[in-house]
Copies of this chain bind each other. A is one copy, B any other.
Amino acid sequence: MDVPREKLFRCWHDPELLKQWFVPKPWTIASAEVDLRPGGRSLVVMQDPEGNQYPNEGVYLEVVPNEKIVSTDAFTAGWKPSGKAFMVAETLFEDAGNGKTRYTATARHWNAEDREAHAKMGFHEGWGMAADQLEALAKTL
């Protein structure tokens, strides 16, 4: 991405920024809670154009400022097992020099069935479009 990693990290860290890029338009984020520390709560409420809301809750597992964020929906706050351990998301922000960033977002699942279900939900396209929105927003900072 053609933007320094510190700005990308801010777009993950600040809920008001995260709301602007985290889902592909015309979906929106109705609300976001970002307690960015190991065990901290992540709650992102996605909203479709009809106004239906889809809460996504989880916790952060590892946070290295400006470098790495790992989160999962396997737990809710307090390390309570969630309804289902579906995925772990790892995002890496690597300094690529000249104010650029190598940005890598990886989703891992507990089994092949869940991975395929996630792909069928449009994971690659969705995360790709969100990443484009992220880069565009970070450039304005």
Seen from chain A, the residues whose Cβ lies within 8 Å of a Cβ on chain B are 38-39, 61-62, 70, 72, 74-75, 79-82, 84-85, 88, 90, 108-110
Chain B residues positioned under 8 Å from A75 (CB to CB)? 61, 88
> Are B88 and A61 in touch, CB under 8 angstroms?
no
Chain B residues positioned under 8 Å from A82 (CB to CB)? 110
Q: How far is the CA of A39 from the CA of B71 in the complex (A)?
A: 12
Q: How far is the CB of A119 from chain B (nearest CB, A)?
A: 16
Q: How far is the CA of A90 from the CA of B78 in the complex (A)?
A: 10
Kindly list the 8 A-B residue pairs having the minimum CB-CB distance in the complex, ordered from nearest: A85-B85, A81-B110, A38-B38, A70-B79, A81-B108, A39-B62, A79-B88, A74-B74
5 A-B pairs with C-beta separation under 8 A: A38-B61, A39-B61, A70-B79, A79-B90, A84-B110
Q: How far is the CB of A44 from chain B (nearest CB, A)?
A: 19
Q: How far is the CA of A28 from the CA of B11 in the complex (A)?
A: 50
Q: How far is the CA of A80 from the CA of B85 in the complex (A)?
A: 12
> Are A81 and B62 in touch, CB under 8 angstroms?
no
Q: How far is the CA of A35 from the CA of B108 in the complex (A)?
A: 23
Q: How far is the CB of A118 from chain B (nearest CB, A)?
A: 12
Chain B residues positioned under 8 Å from A61 (CB to CB)? 38-39, 61, 75, 79
Residue in B closest to A110 when the chains form the complex, CB atoms: B81
Q: How far is the CB of A82 from chain B (nearest CB, A)?
A: 8
